[in-house]
Chain A
Amino acid sequence: MRKASHYIIISGIAVGCLSVLYFLSLVLHIPFVMIIPVIAAAIIFFFRWAKASETTDNVNGLFGGIRNSIASTILIIALIAIIQKTFSLAGRYGGWDAWCIWNLHAKYMAGGVGEWQKLFLSPVADHTDYPLLVPGVVGFFMRLSGSYLTVPFVFCFCILLLIPVLLFVELGKKSLVVGSVVLLLFAYDMAYLKNAVSQYADTPLAFFFLCAVICMYHAKEERRNISLAAMCLGCCIWTKNEGIALACVFVAFNFKALFAGNKKWYFLSGIALPLLVLLVFKWYYAPANDLVSGQSTQTFHQLLDAGRYRLIYKFFSEQISNNYYYSAVFFMLYLVVCLITKEWPGRQFAMLTGCMALYAMIYVLSPQHLGVAPLYLYREANASADAGFYVCYGIKVCTDPPVYPKDRFCVSRLV
């Protein structure tokens, strides 16, 4: 794995680790002044451990020779475009869900030991069963800095940048053209930028899922990358309830790679802490999730209700065609290329499709009346597109050679 990708991924995991430890400090009534050095020490320890598995940069830089200058120029152009567009797109307080759920929870968590459980009090317009990675991180820095306006934005903006840059670095390794096109697509993708600056948890979820895919791709280089992939999945489950489902799909599609031989210990060691914390949160604090608690004999009828499928398909496809047109085109092209080369789509592609199907099933099984489904579907289409299509770019090139034999089809050869 490249040094830059490695640092981006372990920085993301460190943020997840910070959230977990801050949550534990609130649960265990540890004073804030004491938890700061503990968190700092844990992050330093984690960086030292993770650093051992990193590979160094090429002596000629990330891309080598003249390509470094080209890459730098493209990066700067993309960053300027992103800053310009986010300035016009970003609301001062984020979107509705930001101030009604995520940042509200963050403010309660910033309140400390005596205040954080107030986030479970509200019976209206609040989702108190949502995991707390984003509120934990934002709440910690709100408390540290005293700034309630800037901290949530800085966090979401960092994630906004890291997704395309991570793909740029990873894809640029094989083809600078592909990496650059992907980076610029993100920089000018209004749907992505709008969703990312809304300060919701969908984009962090997409980021951690992308990190898990990239770590898995590099699992053969270093077994420690399996631990890192597991930690990324741990961050997914601690970010959103949908992250739990996405992590299950990820594990199902990579079961052999994760659990063969002694690899399972690497995986379990990586996911143990976030899983434990999630269980504590769900068992002792969070109310039941409406999707889980709302299941009844009606579920069977919903499964057979063709109208539900039609409605979900309609809204899902509308959102994709309106907001993720280029990603959808790429998806189709990918399938066409697979047909021409008589190749089966790769496992990661199948995993992604599995994630999409899972999102759709959530709304087939939802006990809520479908009248409100469009609202949720809009967000879920965004979330799944974040977690899915953005990863898809990565899968396009970051796929094991056996899936795309070099002599038959390789994107880097096409460009």
Chain B
Amino acid sequence: MNSKFLFATLLLAVIIASVLHKYNTSKGDEEKAMDVLIPSLKEVKKVLPEGTDVAFYNEKLNFEVYLWCRYILAPHYASIEKDAKHDTALSVYDVQAPDSLVNAFVKPRKTIWQHKDGKYQYYLTTTAR
């Protein structure tokens, strides 16, 4: 064994592990939830202009959903602060959330984009009419 053999073997190991990881299936609930969120939020990223940040609104949803969305949306910043001054807001509701809950936030605003998947419903809205 010499250095070349060592590094070639390591490189091969990294390639194999990376390919396996790419096609690895999600195990925990957290990963499965992210798997659902990623394709849906990919669409939001297409709609959002580069450098735009959004306010995040997820009434009655687990706080973790915000953290997952924040990660997926980055480098767009999703702000959860009450005093955030972004005119665009992304609201995420459980798919079974009652219409009254959704409308309370979405209806007074202009909806730019909306989407529903197996777990959540998404609304990208703006204050501009």
Contact = CB atoms under 8 A, between A and B. Distances in A.
Interface in B47-89: 50-51, 53, 67-68, 70-71, 74-75, 77, 79-81
B43 interface: no
Contact of B53 (A62, A92, A118): A118
Contact of A157 (B7, B14, B75, B80): B14
Interface string A145-172: 0000110011001100110010001000
A71 B1 contact: yes
A83 B17 contact: yes
Contacts of A118: 53, 74-75, 77
A79 interface: yes
Nearest to A70: B1
Given A75-B9, A90-B21, A110-B75, A158 B14 contact: yes
Interface stretch (A99-107, A314-322, A382-390, A400-408): A99-107
A107 B45 CA distance: 14
Interface residues of A, number: 51
B104 interface: no
B10 interface: yes
A75 B6 contact: yes
A87 B21 contact: yes
A299 interface: no
A87 B53 contact: no
A87 B20 contact: yes
A384 B32 CA distance: 31
B100 interface: no
- Which 10 interchain pairs have the tightest Cβ spacing? A111-B75, A107-B74, A115-B75, A118-B77, A68-B1, A4-B3, A72-B1, A61-B2, A79-B13, A99-B71
B128 interface: no
B11 to A, nearest CB: 10
A93 interface: yes
Interface of A: 3-4, 7, 57, 61-63, 68-69, 71-72, 75-76, 79, 82-83, 86-87, 90-93, 96, 99-100, 103-104, 107-108, 110-112, 114-116, 118, 121-125, 149-150, 153-154, 157-158, 161-162, 165, 169
Contacts of A116: 75
A107 B75 contact: yes
A91 B31 contact: yes
Contacts of B7: 4, 7
B24 A165 contact: no
A45 to B, nearest CB: 21
Contact of A4 (B6, B50, B75): B6
